[in-house]
Amino acid sequence: MGKSVADHEFERALAYGLSALDLLKRGSIPPYPQFYELLYTYATGVNPALNNRINAIFASGQAPTTTLAETLYEEFLRSDVNDRMSMVSQRMHVRIQDVHDAIDTAMATANAYSGSLQSAQGDLERAISAEDLQLLAARLLTETRRMQDTNRTLEQKLEASREDIAALQRDLDDVRRESLLDPLTKIANRKSFDDGLREAVSDARQSGNPLCLILADIDHFKSFNDRFGHQTGDQVLRLVAMTFKSNIKGRDIAARYGGEEFVAVLPSTDLKGASIVAENIRQAIHAKELLKRSTNEKLGRITASFGIALFRSNESSGAFFERADRCLYAAKHAGRNRVVTEETYEAVLEDIRTGVSAA
């Protein structure tokens, strides 16, 4: 009963790793790091485009080969969010350098114009002929026009740069948003959750307001996936994600923690309120009967188990998470498809010890 978050993380990663190695073995693909990464990513299901492509390959009966693995790796894993951010950053650097160059040119022209004016002032302080005065006026007029042209060019470049930089900023914002979303379910990903939990814990410490954490795990998801295929499994993950998202509000955060695990951070929510949210989500998931779209075949219902903890002001985010994870673990061992909170945790443990399944 005393498994820690690290234990669960290890077991989850080990399961993904064993699945990746099995796929490598079945396809006679060398277990090079890049091929292992490819199939490990497939096993986690975090890249839906990659999973769709590999599922289509399996369905077609095409034999996996090293060449095919190389092609898939280059297509799906070479280019990631970091690459895109780097590319946008380089584009912005080029544009800013263009602005600097335009400003340097304008400054050089302005300095030359200032020199011409000083020279003209010296000439005017001396007695000069009408002809020389006319030549001086013509020279100053030419210099003034050159200065006007340079300023006009600078304004145009600054305006173009302003628009380009605004577009690049929008691109960076898009990439940042994408980096915080799970690509399959379109809700917050693990990184976004970690950041959000840290911020929520800090706010709760300062304000003294309650903060609850819900952890959920889809029951028997691996066997469901094995039976009906990864595409149907992906639909289940999307369904659970949308159910989470539709049952939270305001500053609440719903995220896919990894695999078939989901989390919700509920600021300004006590244990009773969080229990109501979790129970609503549990019932909504269980109420939906799954159909295979291609055949209208009934696939039955899915269920999920939930654990809830209330933040304590003297604990770390990790300890907070671990207490919620213990409640989830108890819900699993008590028969699944139920919500276990800190208040019900000890009673559930006693039921498990005595062999009684809570209703």
Domain boundary assignment for the chain: 5-76, 81-179, 190-354
Q: What is the pLDDT of residue 325?
A: 94
What are the tokens at 15? 């399961």
> What percent of the chain has a predicted confidence (pLDDT) above 70?
85
Q: Are 235 and 294 in contact (CB under 8 A)?
A: no
Closest CA to 186 of 199, 177, 173: 177
The residues, any chain, with a CB within 8 Å of residue 285's CB and separated by 6 or more, are 239, 240, 243, 302, 303, 304
Q: Among residues 260, 261, 289, 315, which one is catalytic?
A: 260
Neighbours of 93 (CB within 10 A): 11
317 vs 146, higher pLDDT: 317
In which residue are the tokens 């302005």 written?
110
Question: In which band, very low, low, confident or very high, does the pLDDT at 358 lie, cut at 50, 70 and 90?
Answer: very low
Structure confidence by residue, pLDDT tens digits, 111-120: 777 777 777 7
What distance in Å separates the CA atoms of residue 193 and residue 211, rounded to the nearest whole number?
Answer: 14
In which residue are the tokens 């295979």 written?
292
Q: What is the pLDDT of residue 268?
A: 95
What distance in Å separates the CA atoms of residue 285 and residue 280, rounded to the nearest whole number?
Answer: 9
What distance in Å separates the CA atoms of residue 326 and residue 312, rounded to the nearest whole number?
Answer: 15
**Is the pTM here over 0.75, yes or no?**
no
Query: What's the Cα-to-Cα distance from 8 to each of 308, 317, 336, rounded to whole Å?
Result: 17, 17, 17
Is residue 189's pLDDT more than 60? yes
What distance in Å separates the CA atoms of residue 41 and residue 47, rounded to the nearest whole number?
Answer: 7
- In the residue annotation, 260 being an active-site residue is answered as yes
Q: Which fold has domain 190-354?
A: Alpha-Beta Plaits (3.30.70)
